Structure 1
Amino acid sequence: MLALERYLALYERFGRELAAGVAAEASLEQVAEALYCTERNAKLVLRKLEEEGLIEWQAGRGRGNRSHITFREDREQLLLNLSRQYAEESDYNAAFQLLQTYGEGTAASDKFMEWMSGSFGFRKQAGREEDVLRLPLFRPILTLDPADYVYCLCSHMIQQVFDRLVLYDEQTGQIMPGLAHYWEHNKDATEWSFHLRKGVLFHGGHELSSEDVVFTVERLKYGGKRNSWIMRSLLKVEAVSERVVRFQLSQPNWLFLKFAASNVMSILPAGLRGHNEERFWKRPAGTGPFQVDEWTGGRLLLSANPLHYQGRAHLDQVEIVQVPQIEHYNNRMISWQQLICDSALRDIKAENGWVQIESKSRCTSLLSWNMHKEGPQQSERFRSMVNRLIDRNAMIRELSGYRDFPAEGFFHDVKSSAASISYCVPEEALQLLQEEGYDGSPLTVCATTSHSDDVQWIAERLRRAGIPVHVRIEGPDTIHSVLGEVDMLFHALVFPEEEVSLIEGCEQEGSFLKELMTQELSGWAMASFDQAMACPDPADRKRIYREIEERLTGELQVHFVLYMKFYTDYHPSLKGVRINSLGWIDFKDIFRA
C-alpha cells in the first residue's frame, strides 16, 4: 500500500488536473521534494512504480529536455479502493487521512462514505453465527477512565466495560444491587458498608474483592483526578473483610448510595496500584458486560463478557468507528441512531413500521459568563440584555430537532426566575444598550462542535442588536484549555444520575460552571450542596437546589436556555431498544427477533 500512497502523492503534485494516461512534466528534483526523500531514493521509487505498471517515467536527456511522468491508474478509483482496503483492515484513521490528503477535486470521499454507511449497522458476522453492531461516531472517545471523564459519550462506554457497587433504576428511581448485594449505614449517614457478591470476575480473570473497591476509591480521592469531587468528604475507606468494604465520611451524605451508583465510581482492579497505568488504559479491563478487544484512535472494539454477573449480553460484538468531525462527512454519513437495525430496513417511516422513542431524561443547555475576564459582561445590565435577546421559543421554532422547550432551571420539573424573562427585539435592545453606555466592545462566544448551530443562532441575534460577536467553536478535547479566553460559553448539562450529576456539574475539576463563576459563588454552591446531602428528605434537597438556581440566575452569571431531548428511531425487528439516561442505547439489552 505504500507504493500506492506514493503514486497518489505524485499524482497530487504533478497530474492533479490531468486524466490518467496524459504525461506531465516533472524533474527528478521535484519528485524528490514531493516524496520528501533524496533524489537517489526518488529514482528507486519511480522504478518500483514502473515495475508495478502504475507510471511511465521518461527521463530527460541533455540540456533543455525535460522529464515526464505518465500516470496509468485513475486517481479517484485508486484512492477509493485503497481507502476501502484500509477500512476493511479496521485502519479507519488511515482511510480518512488518505481521503483528506488526496481526495480534493474527486468524488472519492462521497463514494467512500456511501460505502461505509452500508457497512454499518446490525448484522451477522460473515461465516459465523455472531451478532455484531457497528456504529459511527463523530466525536472522539477521550477516555475510558471513570476518574477522569467529562462527557456522556465517555460515561456510556465506561458503563459497558465497568460496573458499580449499586445501580440506579431510571424507571423506578430505586437503588438496586450491583457489585454489592447488600448495604447498610449508620443513623446519621456518615458510615456506609457494602457487601460484595461472590464470584464476580474482572475480564482478566481476577476475582473482585474489597481491596479493588478500596484501591478505586483511594485513587479517586488522592490520585489528582478530575472526578475527585465525589470523595470530597471521605475520611477513610477500609476492607473490613474480603467482601465487605466500609466508608467513613466527615459529614452526613444521604446521597451516598447515588454516589456509589455513579459511573465515576466504577470499580477498577487493585492490580493497577504501583504500576504504570498507560498500558492498562490501552486495553482496560473491568467487570462489565463487554470487554475491550481493541482501542485505537479511530476504533473501539468490544466483545461480550461471557461471565458477567448479570448474564451474557445478547450482542457478541460492538464496533465503534470514529468518523472525522468534518461537515463533508457528517452530511453523508447515516447517524448511529438510525443504524440499530440491518441495512435493508433504513427507510425510516412510520408506515414502514419504524418506531420513535424518547428518553425520560433531558439535557439542559446554558449560557455561562466568564466572570474572571474583563469585558462588557462585567455589567449586570449588559448580561440581562443579552439574556432578553435570546427568545427561546423562536430558537426552538427555527432550529427544531432535539430542542424541546425553554429551560427554567437545571431540571425540567423545577421552576425558577427564568420563567419571567421578558424578551426584547434587537432594535429595542440596541437603544437600551446605548443608553446604558455600552461602547460596542466585542464578545467572544464559545461552544463545542455539537452546539455550533445554537451558538451561531445566538450570535446572530446579538449582532442584530449591535453587539459584535466572535464565535469560537472548539472540539471536546480542546475547549477546556480556552475557557479563560472567552467571554461567554454555551454548554449543556445532562443529568443521568440526577442530583449527583448536578453536584458534579458544579464541583468537577474543570467543570464549565465552576471555572467561569466567581470563587465566592462557587464556594457558596459547594456549601449549599453539603447542606443538601445532609438532608434525608428529597423535598428538602430540592429546595436547596432551587435556591442555587435562583442565585445563579438572580446574579445573572448563568442563563438557562433550552431543555433538549434524546430520541432514536428503530425497527421493531430489533428488541431490547431503549435510550438510557446518557442518551445512548444499552448494548447489552439489544437483540434481533
Structure 2
Amino acid sequence: MVILDHYIQLWLQYAKGKELGEKIEISLQDISKTLYCTDRNSKFTIKKLEEIQWISWLPGRGRGNRSKIAFLQDPALLIYEKGKELVKQGEIKSGKTFIQTYEEYFPCILEQFQTWIDTLFGYHIEQSPKGRIDVLRLNMRISPIICLDPMYVTLRSECHIVKHVCDTLVHYNEMTNEIEPRLAFYWEYNHTHKIWTFYLRKGVYFHNQKPFTANDVKYTFKRFLSTKDNPYRWMLQDIEKIHIVDEYTIEIHLQTENELFLHILGGEHCSIIPESQEKENEQYILNGTGPFKLVKNDDALLILEVNPLYFRERPFLDRIELWYSQDISSYSGYEVLLGSLHHDRKGVQKETSQLEANVTYITLNTKKQGPMQNVTFRQALKQIINGMQILNDLKGERGEVATNLLLGKTIEIKKESSIKELLEISGYRGETLYLYTFQDQDHVEDSHWVQRECAKYGIKIELSFLDVHELLTLRTIQEADLIHDSATISEHAELSYLYLLLTTNSFLHQHSSFNLNEKLKHVFKEQNRSVRMQLLGETEEELLECIHIIPLYRNYMTIHTHEGIQNVAINSQGWINFYHIWFKYLHNVTR
C-alpha cells in the first residue's frame, strides 16, 4: 500500500488535471521533497513504479536537463481496485476506510466502491477448483458474535449460529409439538421416569473428524453442570448420574421426574460438543456435528461452510458469510435476500407482515434498596411507561401494545391524575433511578422516551447504553433500577418463558424479589402441557400484578419474498434457517 500512496502523492502534486501518459518535467529532488524521503529512497520508488508499469521515467542527462515522468495509471482506479482487494481478503472495514482516505481527491470513488459492495450481497453462484459453490452473503448490522460456547449463548444471533453448527440429542418440532430424534435415534425410560436411556447414531463425526460417541454426551453434560458461572444450570439440575453403557448407549439418572427433560435436551444450550475441546488464542472454538462448520469468526466476518458428511440431508448452501460491516453496504440483514436478490429484478415479489411473538419490556429491580421496592411507586411507573403512548410517539416497527409476555391478563392503565397521588403516597423524594439497556437504536429511542415521560412527574432517570456482555454481568444487572430489553418468545413457549424466569443472567430473574425457582418447581413435574401453561400463566400474572415487569409492545416484521427463494421463513429470533433455504434457478441471478 506504501507504493500506491507514493504514486497518488506524486500524481496529486504533478499530474492532477493532466492526461495520462503526458510527459512532465521533474527532478529527483522534487520527488524527495514530495515524499519526505532521501534521494536514494526516491530512486528506489521510481524503479518500483517503473517495474509495475505505473510510470515511465526518463532521467535528465547533463547539467540543466530535467528528468521527465509520465503517469500511466488512473490513480482512482488503482485505489478502487486496492479497496476491492482488501474486502476480498476479509479486511472489510480496512477496505472502506482506505477508499474514504482518498475520497476528498476523488469524489466519485466512494459511490463506485459502494455500488460494487452492494453486488457482493445476496445469493451467488461461484466457481472453485472443486466446482460450483452456492454462497449466501449478508451484511448484518449487528455487533460481532463473540460468544459461541453453547453453555453461555444468550443473544439471538449467538443461539442461531450454534443451532447451525451443533446438534442436540433430540429436537422439538414446533409444528407438531413432538420430540424428534437427532443424535439419539431412540430413547426410553423406566417406570418412574427417572432413568432415561439414549441410543446414539453411529457414523456421526464432529467437524474436526472426531467420531461422536457416548463419551461426548457425558462430557458435555458434566461440563454443563460443573461450571459454576453457567447461567443455564437449571436446565440439567435434576441429573443425578450419567452412566455410559457402551460406546453408543448412555443412561441419564434423574433425582426426580422431569416432564420437560426431553424438551430441555433439545435446546441449543445442550448442544453436544466433543470431549477434547480446541482453543485458539485462548478462545473456545465451536466444534459440532451440525450441517455447517464454523471456519472464521472475527470482528469483521463470520463464515459457515457446509458439512459434507452431515448425517442428515445435506444443505443446499455451501457457504454463508455474515459481514459485521455496519454501514459498508446500503443493504442490511435480509434486504438483499428477501427483496430482489439484488441481481435479479424481474421476479415476482410478495410482501407479508407478521407480528413477532417477542416482547419488548422493562424490568423493575425490586431487590434493590430504594424507591423501586415500594409497590405504589411501581404502580406510578406502570402508568407513566405506557406502551400505547410509545407506539403513538415513536412508531417505526413497533406494531402492537403488549400487556403480557405469554398468558397474563390485561392490566388497566389508570388516568394521569392518579400518578401524582401514587408518587405522593410512595414517598418518592427525587432519587435518581438508573435505566440500563443495549446500544441498538430501538433501545436508545425507547429509553429516552421513558426518561422524558418520567421527568414530567419529577422522576429522575439516568440512562446507560452498554455493550452486550457488560450489560449481562450480574454486577451490572443488580445495580440497575430498570432494564429495557426484548424477550425472545420462541415456537417453544414453555421453554422461552422458563429461560426468562430461571436463567441466572436474565434481567427478570435478577430483579424480581420472588423465589422463582420455588414457584416453578411444580411445572417440571406436570405431565399435562395445558396445566403447565396454566402454572406459568399464574406466575406471570403475579409478576404483572406486583409490577416486577412492564411489557411494552411487539414489533411487526415485514418480509419481501422473491419467487426464486424457497423454504424461507423468519423464526422467532428474527433469523432465517439456513439449513432449509434453497434457490430456484433464475436468469441473471449473479454477475
**TM bracket (short chain):** 0.7 to 0.9
Q: 1:277 to 1:293 in 2, by over 3 A?
A: closer
Preserved CA contact (<8 Å) 2:355 2:554: no
Match of 2:84 in 1: 84
Partners in 2 of 1:302 and 1:279 — Cα distance?
20
> Residue 259 of structure 1: CA displacement?
0.6
- Superimposed CA distance per residue, residues 411-469 of structure 1 (whole angstroms, 9 cap, x where no aligned partner): 2xx132xx1231544x7645753575433333332221232233233333223333333
- Superimposed CA distance per residue, residues 284-318 of structure 1 (whole angstroms, 9 cap, x where no aligned partner): 32111111222222211111112212111011111
> Residue 78 of structure 1: CA displacement?
7.2
Give the alignment of 1:43-442 within 5 angstroms.
Answer: 82-95=82-95, 112-126=113-127, 128-139=131-142, 140-224=144-228, 225-272=230-277, 277-278=279-280, 283-324=285-326, 332-340=330-338, 342-345=341-344, 353-357=348-352, 362-411=357-406, 414-416=407-409, 419-425=410-416, 429=419, 433=423, 436-442=426-432
Q: 1:401 to 1:168 in 2, by over 3 A?
A: farther
Match of 1:27 in 2: none
Match of 1:32 in 2: none
Counterpart amino acid of 2:238?
Answer: S
> Residue 590 of structure 1: CA displacement?
1.4
Q: Which runs of 5+ in 1 are unaligned?
A: 22-34, 55-71
Preserved CA contact (<8 Å) 1:358 1:579: no
Match of 2:460 among 468, 474, 478: 468
Matched residue SS, 2:372: helix
Matched residue SS, 1:585: coil
Q: Would you say 1:499 and 2:505 are equivalent positions?
A: no
Preserved CA contact (<8 Å) 2:408 2:544: no
Partners in 2 of 1:541 and 1:6 — Cα distance?
71
> Residue 217 of structure 1: CA displacement?
0.7
Match of 1:477 in 2: 469
Partners in 2 of 1:436 and 1:442 — Cα distance?
15
Counterpart amino acid of 1:563?
Answer: R
Preserved CA contact (<8 Å) 1:575 1:590: yes
Give the alignment of 1:560-571 within 5 angstroms.
Answer: 560-571=551-562
TM-score, normalised with respect to structure 1: 0.80
Partners in 2 of 1:560 and 1:398 — Cα distance?
17
Q: 1:223 to 1:400 in 2, by over 3 A?
A: same
Q: 1:379 to 1:579 in 2, by over 3 A?
A: same
Q: 1:50 to 1:309 in 2, by over 3 A?
A: same
Q: Would you say 1:488 and 2:482 are equivalent positions?
A: yes
Partners in 2 of 1:506 and 1:366 — Cα distance?
14
> Residue 365 of structure 1: CA displacement?
1.8
Q: 1:456 to 1:100 in 2, by over 3 A?
A: farther
> Residue 200 of structure 1: CA displacement?
1.6
Partners in 2 of 1:226 and 1:74 — Cα distance?
57
RMSD: 3.8
Matched residue SS, 2:579: helix
Match of 1:26 in 2: none
> Residue 97 of structure 1: CA displacement?
5.8
Q: 1:334 to 1:483 in 2, by over 3 A?
A: same
> Residue 408 of structure 1: CA displacement?
2.9
Preserved CA contact (<8 Å) 2:308 2:314: yes
Match of 2:573 among 562, 570, 582: 582
> What's the % identity of the aligned pairs?
24
Partners in 2 of 1:528 and 1:213 — Cα distance?
30
Matched residue SS, 1:343: coil
> Residue 358 of structure 1: CA displacement?
5.9
Match of 2:439 among 443, 449, 466: 449
Partners in 1 of 2:40 and 2:508 — Cα distance?
59
Preserved CA contact (<8 Å) 1:193 1:244: yes
Number of residue pairs the alignment of both structures matches: 538
Partners in 1 of 2:516 and 2:196 — Cα distance?
25
Partners in 1 of 2:124 and 2:360 — Cα distance?
36
Q: 1:112 to 1:454 in 2, by over 3 A?
A: farther
> Residue 108 of structure 1: CA displacement?
6.8
Partners in 1 of 2:460 and 2:102 — Cα distance?
38
Preserved CA contact (<8 Å) 1:135 1:336: yes
> Residue 196 of structure 1: CA displacement?
1.2
Counterpart amino acid of 2:146?
Answer: L
Partners in 1 of 2:446 and 2:582 — Cα distance?
36
Partners in 2 of 1:511 and 1:505 — Cα distance?
6
> Residue 104 of structure 1: CA displacement?
9.3
Counterpart amino acid of 2:341?
Answer: D
- Superimposed CA distance per residue, residues 353-383 of structure 1 (whole angstroms, 9 cap, x where no aligned partner): 3224567861122211233444432332222
> Residue 132 of structure 1: CA displacement?
0.6
Partners in 2 of 1:485 and 1:109 — Cα distance?
45
Partners in 2 of 1:508 and 1:371 — Cα distance?
17
Q: Which runs of 5+ in 2 are unaligned?
A: 18-34, 55-71, 585-591
> Residue 219 of structure 1: CA displacement?
1.1
Q: 1:5 to 1:581 in 2, by over 3 A?
A: farther
> Residue 110 of structure 1: CA displacement?
6.3
Q: 1:215 to 1:73 in 2, by over 3 A?
A: same
Q: Which has the larger share of helix?
A: 1
> Residue 178 of structure 1: CA displacement?
1.0
Q: 1:384 to 1:582 in 2, by over 3 A?
A: same
Partners in 1 of 2:40 and 2:521 — Cα distance?
71
Partners in 1 of 2:446 and 2:554 — Cα distance?
13
